[in-house]
Amino acid sequence: MKATIYHNPRCSKSRETLALLQAAGTEIEIVEYLKTPPSRAKLAELYAKAGMTPRQGLRMAEDGAKALKDAADDAILDAMAADPILIERPLVETAKGVRLGRPPEKVREIL
């Protein structure tokens, strides 16, 4: 099986999720999303496949997220595309769907 992980190597949950994918023998494409951010359209697609709203994918711990407290989904997607640190990580995509790896074990659902 092939998986794409939107990864931040500095994040422990992202590293744990990557290790889980490796242990499962998955063919992995690693996208360091801070260096190569997904487009706004790709983010919208990922959240739709995950059954999540952009708000649920917003990294609330970041200062920039506070300004989005009452924002609509379109504004959140715009902000994430402009400042990818606002994207909660890691997102994993396979042919079976998309999951946010929080906790990392959630990605087993799509392997």
Residues found in the chain = 111
Give the whole-angstrom CA distance, residue 89 versus residue 32. Answer: 10
Q: What is the pLDDT of residues 29-56, one digit of tens each?
A: 999 999 999 999 999 999 999 999 999 9
80 neighbors 87 (Cβ within 8 angstroms): yes
Tell me if residue 11 is catalytic: yes
Q: What is the pLDDT of residues 62-107, one digit of tens each?
A: 999 999 999 999 999 999 999 999 999 999 999 999 999 999 999 9
Domains, the chain, ordered by start: 2-110 (3.40.30.10)
Catalytic residue among 2, 3, 9, 11: 11
